[in-house]
Amino acid sequence: MASIEEFKQEVRSWVDENLPAELRVGNRRDLPGEPLGRWIQALASRGWITPQWPTEYGGGGLDRKHAAALMAELRAVRAPIIGSFGTSMLGPTLLEFGTEEQKQEFLPPISRHEIKWCQGYSEPGAGSDLASLQTRAALEGDEYVITGQKIWTTGADKADWIFCLVRTDPDASKHDGISFILFPMHQPGVEVSPLRLIDGSADFSQVFFDGARAKAKHVVGPVNGGWTVAKRLLQHERSTDGGSEGGITGAMKETLVDVVKREVGLEAGALADPAIRQRLAAQEMEARALSLTMRRAGEEARAGQTTRDIGSLGKYRWANMVKNEQDIAMTALGSQGLGWEGPGFEDGQLERTRAWLSTRADSIWGGTNEVQLNVIAKRVLLIPE
Partner 1 sequence: MGLILSEDQLILRDMAKSFCDEKSPVERMRALRDTRDETGFTRELWKEMGELGWIGILLPEDVGGADMGYAELGIVLEQCGRVLAPEPFVSTVLLGGNAILLGGSEPLQKDLLPDVCSGDRILALAFQEQGRFAPYAVETRATRDGAGFRLRGEKQFVLDGHVADQIVTVARTAGQAGERDGLSLFVVDATTKGVAIQRTQMVDGRNAARIRLDDANVDSERVLGEIDGGADLLDPVFDRATIGLCAEMLGSFEEAFERTLEYLKTREQFGVKIGTFQALRHRAAHMFGELEFARSIVRDALSSIDDGRDDVAECASSAKARCSDVAALIGGEAVQMHGGIGMTDEEEIGLFFKRLKAAEFTLGDATYHRDRYASLRGY
Ligand X SMILES: Cc1cc2nc3c(=O)[nH]c(=O)nc-3n(C[C@H](O)[C@H](O)[C@H](O)COP(=O)(O)OP(=O)(O)OC[C@H]3O[C@@H](n4cnc5c(N)ncnc54)[C@H](O)[C@@H]3O)c2cc1C
Query: Could you say which of 135, 149, 153, 326 contacts ligand X (CB under 6 A)?
Result: 153
Closer of 253 and 295 to partner 1 (Cβ): 295
Is there a contact between 179 and 226 (Cβ–Cβ < 8 Å)? Answer: yes
Count the Cβ atoms, other than its own, within 10 Å of residue 382: 8
* CA distance linking residue 67 with residue 60, whole number of Å: 9
Count the Cβ atoms, other than its own, within 10 Å of residue 98: 22
Is there a contact between 149 and 206 (Cβ–Cβ < 8 Å)? Answer: yes
- Is residue 365 close enough to count as binding ligand X by CB under 6 A? yes
Query: Could you say which of 119, 149, 326, 372 contacts ligand X (CB under 6 A)?
Result: 119
Binding mask 154-193 for ligand X (x = CB under 6 A): x---------------------------------------
Could you tell me the smallest distance in angstroms from the CB atom of residue 375 to partner 1?
8
The number of residues that bind ligand X (CB under 6 A) is 19
- Is residue 364 close enough to count as binding ligand X by CB under 6 A? yes
Residues in the chain: 385
Name the binder of 257 from ligand X, partner 1, none, CB < 5-8 A by kind. partner 1
- Is residue 99 close enough to count as binding ligand X by CB under 6 A? no
Could you tell me the smallest distance in angstroms from the CB atom of residue 362 to partner 1?
16
Query: Could you say which of 212, 271, 319, 361 contacts ligand X (CB under 6 A)?
Result: 361
Name the binder of 67 from partner 1, ligand X, none, CB < 5-8 A by kind. none
Is there a contact between 84 and 125 (Cβ–Cβ < 8 Å)? Answer: no
Contact residues for partner 1 (CB under 8 A)?
Answer: 257, 260-261, 266, 269-271, 274, 277-278, 280-282, 284-286, 288-290, 292-293, 295-296, 299-300, 303, 305, 310, 313, 316-317, 370, 372-374, 376-378, 380-381, 383-385
User: In degrees rounded to 5, what are phi and psi of residue 126?
Assistant: -135, 90
Could you tell me the smallest distance in angstroms from the CB atom of residue 302 to partner 1?
9
**For 97-100, which contacts have Cβ atoms below 8 Å and span 24 or more sequence positions?**
97/180, 97/220, 97/221, 97/229, 97/232, 98/220, 99/217
Choose, from 73, 123, 237, 263, the residue flagged as catalytic: 237
- Is residue 374 close enough to count as binding ligand X by CB under 6 A? yes
* CA distance linking residue 3 with residue 40, whole number of Å: 25
Name the binder of 376 from ligand X, partner 1, none, CB < 5-8 A by kind. partner 1
Closer of 198 and 285 to partner 1 (Cβ): 285
Is there a contact between 255 and 248 (Cβ–Cβ < 8 Å)? Answer: yes
Could you tell me the smallest distance in angstroms from the CB atom of residue 65 to partner 1?
13
For the question of residue 325 being annotated catalytic, the response is no
What residues from 18 to 47 belong to the interface with ligand X (CB under 6 A)?
Answer: none
Closer of 57 and 121 to ligand X (Cβ): 121
Candidate ranges 170-178, 256-264, 316-324, 362-370; the one touching ligand X (CB under 6 A): 362-370
* CA distance linking residue 165 with residue 92, whole number of Å: 17
- Is residue 368 close enough to count as binding ligand X by CB under 6 A? yes
The pairing of beta strand 117-120 with beta strand 161-167: parallel
Residues contributing to the site for ligand X (CB under 6 A): 118-122, 127-128, 152-154, 204, 361, 364-365, 367-368, 370-371, 374
Q: Report, as residue numbers or ranges, the catalytic residues.
A: 237
